[in-house]
Amino acid sequence: MKMDKILPFAKSLLHKAVNPGDIVVDATVGNGYDTVFLAGLVGESGHVFGFDIQEEAIAASKERLIKQNLSERVTLFQSGHEHLFKLIPHIGHGKVTGAIFNLGYLPGSDKTIVTKPETTIAAIHQLLEIMTSEGIIVLVIYHGHKGGAEERDSLLSYCRQLDQKTAHVLQYQFINQQNSPAFIIAIEKI
């Protein structure tokens, strides 16, 4: 297949936005794969701020970062992403170049603990305040679970209403796949 699948496309967008020395956000740390990826992009002089409400996600991510010798580049918060504005040090405000959300539930975990549209929208709003021009937010939307359709519809509605003078919004998805395939909404701050 020559077209990028969802996760490689998400990474390619972040590759374009993030450089060594940058500040980035993993808004849903999960098992730490994106956290490690972002830590590699920002290099030794950059920093990743990661958020997850589940203790097991934070623990798994810490372990993965230690194994990759990347823990010095990352600060993890066992907190919802809707608190990122107050938890990311003020010195980082205006300097965030990239952020990723993997919405839904933590794979291999309790499927009743899911991301919520109101907290995700609050986090996006806060990120748009503290991002640099041309900073990119990538939302990977998994919507095939209970509550997923509501979150999907709320996010699409919110993103469609973003002023085109403040952000470019892209939707990337495969439209002929079965079983509620994941898709991306990418927001680039102007």
Q: What is the pTM of this model?
A: 0.96
Q: Lowest-pLDDT range, 1-5, 15-19, 82-86, 100-104?
A: 1-5
Residue 1 within any structural domain of the chain: no
Domain enclosing residue 89, as ranges: 6-189
**How many domains in the chain?**
1
Please give the pLDDT value at position 173.
96
pLDDT at 112 over 90: no
CA-closest candidate to residue 35, choices 5, 4, 11: 11
pLDDT at 152 over 90: yes
Residue 34 within any structural domain of the chain: yes
What is the arrangement of strands in the sheet containing 23-26, beginning at the earlier edge strand?
74-78, 47-52, 23-26, 96-103, 131-141, 183-189, 167-172
pLDDT (tens digit per residue) in 129-149: 999 999 999 999 999 888 899
CATH number of the domain that residue 22 is part of:
3.40.50.150
Instruction: For residues 51-60, give the mean pLDDT.
Output: 96
Please give the pLDDT value at position 161.
98
Residue 159 within any structural domain of the chain: yes
